[in-house]
Amino acid sequence: MTEEIISVRGLAKSYGKKEVVHPLNFSVKRGEILSVIGPSGAGKSTLLRMLDTIEPASEGEIILFGEKVTKHSAHSLRNRMGMLFQKTVLFERTVEENIALGLSYRFVSREETKKRVTEALESMGMSEYAQRSSRTLSGGEGQRVSFARVLVTKPEILFLDEPTANLDPVATKVLEEMILHENRVNKTTIIINTHDQAQGQRLADRVAVMMNGEFVQFGSADEVFYHPVNESVAKFVGIQNIFTGVVRNGNAVSGGVVFCPAPHFPDGIVQIMLRAEDISLSKTEVPEGRISVQGRVVSAERSGAFLNVMVDAGCIFLVICPFRQTGDTYVPGEIVQIAWRIAAVHFAKAV
Amino acid sequence: MGEITDGFLEAIMLIVTMNPEIMEIAGRSLYVSIIATFVAALIAIPIGALIYYYDFHGKRAVINIVQTLYALPTVIVGLLVYLLVSNSGPLGSLKLLYTTNAMIIAQVVLVSPLIVGLTIAALSGLDKEMKYTTMALNARAYRAMMTLVREAKYAVLSAVVLAFGRAIAEVGAVMMVGGNIRHFTRTLTTAITLNTSMGEFATSIALGIILLTIALIVNFGVNILQHHHGRMKDD
């Protein structure tokens, strides 16, 4: 069950002279969840629409289930796939009729349709909604119904285009669970677009970072989140402390701060990255086995359950710590110790 | 002044007493325009849906031409259909000239562009994702178009009602191909033209009141539909 279910070679899309998706090459294995993360306008939606064969590619080829996508094969290939959009699309009919729509397009028998729709509603705990008009649903319910409409067609590949972007946190969680359930139970292959990097991390086996129509990084979630290839990826995956520094005499240095030993890194200019939550902050003691520097508090502000502290220690660091853990408060001008583990520091070649 | 007042009073009498000839003319007008609008809708809504659904080169130009045809002069339509159905024309053998059928054909030609154009506009008013959803659910093109037209039904319906309004108010084309023959092809508009030129103002005014009433009802209908459509969009 590890054959390549999606394989893409030189796939590109242009609108007029503007190339929105630059030639891409990648493949996805059966049962895998690939998350495509990236800022709005990076070409993620266009990519998914091309993969779902509802938008023709400008160049390159797509191979689905071992079969090349052509004008003639698209319809039968699409029978085995489904797609969910960011904007909830419900037709002005009952919930039941909405869910049945894809089956009616496939000329599935009335009894079978009834059976699948009833099952779908039951599994979502929405049986009593069957006869309700789709217009009476909340955002989360509507998106679940849209998802059920796709699931009843029993897709082998699912394309999810920012499915939770318009939902509140609770509804997002419910839908994420439905997505994971579909993957775990039915072994459905899933490609999900999201601009929420944490969602990508939660759901995906592999993550592709798409920026300006290109995959700038493709790897496991940990690789992307802890070892971003460049500054823009680092910023996108939420690394707040990024410094331009140098490697000299086996140490990575920026602003007079020695971040960590870098014995295997060639001398030269580098980007030094450190996640704000990987830095510890204290007024007195320095934990063992860590790099530590002394600094001065620039500002400290609450952000929900966390305290965001800016510390000037040669470079300006952002440190995030749980507010209630120590109960400490920090005032600007105060002298503090910040520390981090050597392994928390990540370098990328400066461009 | 007296002539107009007298005309009005007599006109109201003609309507209240349901003067047979006036009723016959009003009935024929309604018949011709309703049938023409219905046939035009059957042809034009699918064409509008096709133009909306498919992306092709020159799509913008086609839509521009359709929109230009909204203002197609009625006498040009009259001339075209006349040439088509006259004895020496391609449909001459069907003996359609000076029949209500010829009038229906003329009105179909006249209002079809309006329905095509407004159907495209109605469908373009839907979310782009709606079209994508029908495609992603793997609908054949005709099923997708049916779903989308159904979804835009209020806007499409108001296009049809508007087309009916243009059909029933039109005089040039029906005059040319119908001939304004009494008891046969005389409609509200052609009758008003004739009676006014003959100085029969009372009859003209009576017919005018009926025509205006129909126009008001049509406008009222469009308003209700658009209101409904607007409310749907707000939700």
Residue B4 lies in a domain: no
Predicted confidence (pLDDT) at residue B120 exceeds the cutoff of 70? yes
Cα dihedral: A333, A339, A345, A351 (round 10): 20
Instruction: Based on the fold, state whether residues A226 and A279 are members of the same structural domain.
Output: no
Residue B6 lies in a domain: no
Residue B8 lies in a domain: no
Higher pLDDT, A167 or B226: A167
Distance from the A32 Cα atom to the nearest Cα atom in chain B, whole angstroms? 21
Instruction: Based on the fold, state whether residues A70 and A179 are members of the same structural domain.
Output: yes
Residues in contact with B169: Cβ distance below 8 Å, sequence separation at least 6, in sequence order:
B189, B211, B215
What average pLDDT does this structure show over A186-213? 93
Condensed to tens digits (0 to 9), the pLDDT of residues A275-312 reads 998 998 888 777 777 888 999 999 999 888 888 999 99
Residue B145 lies in a domain: yes
Residue of B nearest to A85 (CA): B129
Instruction: Based on the fold, state whether residues A90 and A23 are members of the same structural domain.
Output: yes
CATH number at residue B88: 1.10.3720.10
Residue B9 lies in a domain: no
**Looking at residue A1, what is its pLDDT?**
47
| Cβ contacts of B151 on chain A, cutoff 8 Å | 91-92
Instruction: Based on the fold, state whether residues A263 and A294 are members of the same structural domain.
Output: yes
pTM of the complete model beyond 0.90: no
| Cβ contacts of A105 on chain B, cutoff 8 Å | 134, 137-140, 143
Residue A207 lies in a domain: yes
Residue A301 lies in a domain: yes
Domain count, chain B: 1
User: What is this model's ipTM?
Assistant: 0.85
Q: Which of the listed residues A198, A232, A266 is the one where a domain comes to its end?
A: A232
Domain containing residue A322: 242-349
Instruction: Based on the fold, state whether residues A302 and A180 are members of the same structural domain.
Output: no
Residue A237 lies in a domain: no
Confidence class for position B231, pLDDT limits 50, 70, 90: low
Query: What's the CA gap between A69 and A76, in Å, rounded?
Result: 10
Condensed to tens digits (0 to 9), the pLDDT of residues B165-184 reads 999 999 999 999 999 999 99
Query: What's the CA gap between A58 and A75, in Å, rounded?
Result: 19
Instruction: Based on the fold, state whether residues A208 and A313 are members of the same structural domain.
Output: no
Instruction: Based on the fold, state whether residues A312 and A260 are members of the same structural domain.
Output: yes
Domain count, chain A: 2
Residue B85 lies in a domain: yes
A-interface mutation test, from B127, B129, B133, most A Cβ less than 10 A away: B133
Higher pLDDT, A306 or A151: A151
CATH number at residue A215: 3.40.50.300
Residue with tokens 């308003």: B223
Checking phi first, is residue A327 left (phi over 0); if not, alpha (psi -120 to 50) or beta? left
Is A285 at the interface with chain B, CB within 8 A? no
Predicted confidence (pLDDT) at residue A350 exceeds the cutoff of 80? no
Q: Which neighbouring-strand residues pair with A339?
A: A280, A292
Instruction: Based on the fold, state whether residues A309 and A334 are members of the same structural domain.
Output: yes
Domain containing residue B40: 20-234
What is the 3-state secondary structure of chain B? CHHHHHHHHHHHHHHHCCCHHHHHHHHHHHHHHHHHHHHHHHHHHHHHHHHHHCCCCCHHHHHHHHHHHHHCCHHHHHHHHHHHHCCCCCCHHHCCCCCHHHHHHHHHHHHHHHHHHHHHHHHHCCCHHHHHHHHHCCCCHHHHHHHHHHHCHHHHHHHHHHHHHHHHHCCHHHHHHHCCCCCCCCCHHHHHHHHHHCCCHHHHHHHHHHHHHHHHHHHHHHHHHHHHHHHHHHC
Q: What percent of chain B has pLDDT over 70?
A: 97
Of B127, B138, B140, the CB nearest to A102: B138
**Looking at residue B3, what is its pLDDT?**
77
Q: How many CB pairs under 8 A join A and B?
A: 56
Instruction: Based on the fold, state whether residues A71 and A153 are members of the same structural domain.
Output: yes
The separation between the first and the last C-alpha atoms of chain A, rounded to the nearest angstrom, is 41
**Looking at residue A325, what is its pLDDT?**
73
**Looking at residue A201, what is its pLDDT?**
85
Residue A54 lies in a domain: yes
Instruction: Based on the fold, state whether residues A107 and A142 are members of the same structural domain.
Output: yes
Q: What percent of chain A has pLDDT over 70?
A: 99
Q: Which neighbouring-strand residues pair with A348?
A: A271
Residue B165 lies in a domain: yes
Residue of A nearest to B233 (CA): A135
Is the Cβ pair B138, A106 closer than 8 Å?
yes
Residue B13 lies in a domain: no
Confidence class for position B230, pLDDT limits 50, 70, 90: low
Predicted confidence (pLDDT) at residue A81 exceeds the cutoff of 50? yes
